[in-house]
Structure 1
């Protein structure tokens, strides 16, 4: 389970780092709170941050639930795939929002896999 905990900390740290990018963009592009629109680059970074939160809400419970039925190491590995996908998503979305699909899929499919593994594991155990 230790790797699951390490990956959880990395997921949260990544989210916090994305939040710091949003704060930096607020200052650089003079988008004063509580505004969430303004300069396009601020809006892109803000959306990456918010989308990461939306995904993280499903990732974390899915990791821990799947680890109850399968190897915690595999659940942690899915979390690492999510982290890599989020970085790809950040780079793509910041450059051109239309190119974000690969990063989104790289982060989303591990969540789907974890949820499916949890469902199968629960059905096998029940």
Structure 2
């Protein structure tokens, strides 16, 4: 008689699967909207850099020159650097916590990135309020994602491989 891990509904991702479409289809429409919305933001940031290059006559590949151009360029680079972190946190929070909450946080994070870009492009000190707001939203996504992610992989009721590792402890009565 083999060990059968018990089903754990608390940390399950079953709410993401649409039974009408089968297990192969992940129902993540809300999560898909945030990265899709980010690309127009990225295009806007890139167009602002192109405009600043034209306005201050700075040809590529130079990244230095007029101070106003450097502000716009640096704001665009900083926003692009946050995208992988944002995307990972958004998806993990959406898959392991709640899709709608993660999507709302994602849209809020995109708004703070826009405010960050606009503030930084105007003056270096103008970025601080939106930088802190963005960090708080990313921290919230991290707080939503990590506990559920760890629970999913570390609790034996949710992870078959962990159940195999915990079986000897269960026989000893230590788990």
- For normalisation by structure 2, the TM-score amounts to 0.68
Task: Give the Cα separation in 1 of the matches to 2:44 and 2:133.
Answer: 19
What count of residue pairs does the alignment treat as equivalent? 126
Q: CA RMSD in A?
A: 1.3
Structure 1 residue 108: Cα displacement: 2.0
CA contact (8 A) 2:31 2:102 kept: yes
Instruction: Name the residue aligned to 1:15.
Output: 42
The Cα shift of 1:100 comes to 1.2
**Aligned counterpart in structure 2 of residue 88 of structure 1, from 95, 104, 115:** 115
Which is higher, the Rg of structure 1 or of structure 2? 2
Q: Which residue of 2 aligns with 1:123?
A: 150
Distance across 2 between alignment mates of 1:108 and 1:12: 20
2-structure distance, mates of 1:105, 1:11:
19
User: Which stretch of the first structure deviates more once superposed, 110-119 or 74-83?
Assistant: 110-119
Gaps of 5+ in 1: none
- After the TM superposition, which segments of 4 or more aligned residues of structure 1 sit over 3 Å from their partners? none
The structure whose residues are more often helix, as a share, is 1
Provide the C-alpha distance between the structure 2 equivalents of 1:99 and 1:27, rounded to a whole number of angstroms.
Answer: 23
Deviations 1:63-90 (A, max 9, x none): 0111111111111111111111112112
> Which residues of structure 2 form unaligned runs of 5+?
1-27, 155-175
